[in-house]
Every structure is written in structure tokens, then in C-alpha cells.
Amino acid sequence: MTIKATVWGENVHERTNAVVARLYPDGMHTCIAAGLNEDFEIEARSVTLQDPEHGLTEEVLEDTDVLLWWGHAAHGEVSDAIVDRVQARVLQGMGLLVLHSAHYSKIFKRLMGTTCSLKWREAGERERLWVVNPGHPIVQGVGDYIELPHTEMYGEPFAVPNPDEVIFISAFEGGEVFRSGLTYRRGNGKIFYFRPGHETYPIYHDAKVRRVLKNAVKWARPEGSRWIDACPNVPPEQAPDPVVVKGEGLHKPGEEGFK
């Protein structure tokens, strides 16, 4: 079955910075989606911050198996209502890939429950992303490491919860290291944070980076039935076994807070 991916792009730097516009003339989001569409198992589209409802309508999210998120300069412009909507879909089972500076996105900070802060430096230095979990589906076909000749440095400490799995650890020319590939589960949804992707370098044209994103989409696709968030009241007569009501309960039918 085809995996339906939606690439969300902030689409700000592409319109305001000549270097980014030259590297990604159709937008970073379009480049990422094109890389995914190289795989016949994936059907990817892209939407942007500037679209109505940021492109993430109920209909679009309902038709999305995996959402990829790239943001940097306009995190605060993302509507909280849209963040609520995306969070609900992740909990139901939609996969989420958080890319590069989207570590500071509202949705990632919401799902992590932490600041998601880190050290950084933009000096065009070399990065090697070492594969530290070689049996994981996300790194198949990648080899021992990915080398990016010029990139932005991210350094530890990375203020996120302890991940379920660490997939990559980056080593930078300046000596810093960083946990560059992390997995989490929230509700039924799988989350993968992947560090590379600074806008002034051609990182999303790199074949190995594209391979990781394709693998990650396949890994993060929904599994099993959808979890519907609900908190139903179960009357005693509907319990699997007989229940004898004892004492006065706090909640009564019809009262505020009774469900």
C-alpha cells in the first residue's frame, strides 16, 4: 500500500535569502517531497506556512500517514490550533519526522515537553553522522556514516527527553558531538528527529540524506488500528463483571465534568 507523506515547509528563507533560493528554487519542501517521490512506495506532497490553515486542514491530515516538518524563522507564526490538530493525529498514529531547526517548532516542543534547546554555530564545517544503530530500518543502505562537507553545527546538551533509540551521533570539525537521529513514540505515533538540513547548504540534495528520509517515512507509517482519544464513563451495569455501587460518587450524570 502506498504511504502518503506530507512535507510541511516554512517557506520563508526561500523567498528572502538569495543563497537559499539558488539551492532550492522551488522551495525546500518541494525538494524534500521530490526525494521521497523517488521511491515508488511513497506518495509525497508539500504544503507551506502561507497556505490556508498552514496547508494542514483536517482533510489533509486525515489523508497523511507521515508528516515531515521543517521550520526555522517563523515558529511563532504557526497557529496553536494547527499544533493541536497535528498533535491529535500523532497520538492517533500518524508518523512525524522533525527536521533540523524544527527542534524548536511548537509541535516538537509540545510532544517532548521540554525546551529542546541546544548549542549551535554556523561556520560551514564538516559533519560526520555516525550510524550507531546499524540494524535499524532507518539506516539501511546508508553505510557506516554520512559525511556532509559543509553544515551548521549543533552541539550537546540537547534538551530533549531520553529517546527510545539513538540512530546517529554527529561529530563536527570543531570537536562537538550531537545526537542527530532520535526516535520516540507518543500515543500510537512514531517520531523521528533528524538533524541535518541547514538551509544554506544543499543537504536535501544529498543521496544518503534522501535515503534516510525515505527509510524513516516507511518506519514511521501507522501500524494497527487508530487510537481515538476518549474518556468514557462506564456505568456499573455495563461493566464486564457485576459491580455493587458503594457510597456516593463525586460525579453525577448531568453535572459539569461528567462524561
Structure pTM? 0.93
Residue 21's contacts (CB-CB under 8 Å, 6 or more residues apart) are 14, 15
Does any domain span residue 123? yes
Does any domain span residue 185? yes
| pLDDT one-digit tens code per residue, 38-68 | 999 999 999 999 999 999 999 999 999 999 9
Question: Does residue 213 contact residue 97 with C-beta atoms inside 8 Å?
Answer: yes
Does any domain span residue 69? yes
* Residue of 10 and 236 predicted with greater confidence: 10
Does any domain span residue 248? no
Does any domain span residue 246? no
Q: How many CB atoms lie within 10 A of CB 249?
A: 8
Backbone angles phi, psi at 35, to 5 degrees: -60, -40
Which of the four pLDDT bands, split at 50, 70 and 90, describes residue 236?
confident
Does any domain span residue 236? no
Residue-level length of the chain: 259
Question: Does residue 61 contact residue 91 with C-beta atoms inside 8 Å?
Answer: no
Q: Residue 157: is the preceding peptide bond cis (ω within 30°)?
A: yes
DSSP string for residues in 92-127:
HT-EEEEEGGGGGSHHHHHHHTS----EEEEEEEEE
Domain extent, residue 193, equals 3-220
Does any domain span residue 143? yes
Q: Is the pLDDT of residue 254 over 60?
A: no
Q: Is the pLDDT of residue 259 over 50?
A: no
- Domain containing 208 — which CATH number? 3.40.50.880
Q: What is the mean pLDDT of the segment spanning 77-86?
A: 98
| pLDDT one-digit tens code per residue, 198-230 | 999 999 999 999 999 999 999 999 988 887 777
Question: Does residue 107 contact residue 71 with C-beta atoms inside 8 Å?
Answer: no
Q: How far apart are CA 158 and CA 180, in angstroms?
A: 10
| pLDDT one-digit tens code per residue, 169-182 | 999 999 999 999 99
- The domain total for the chain is 1
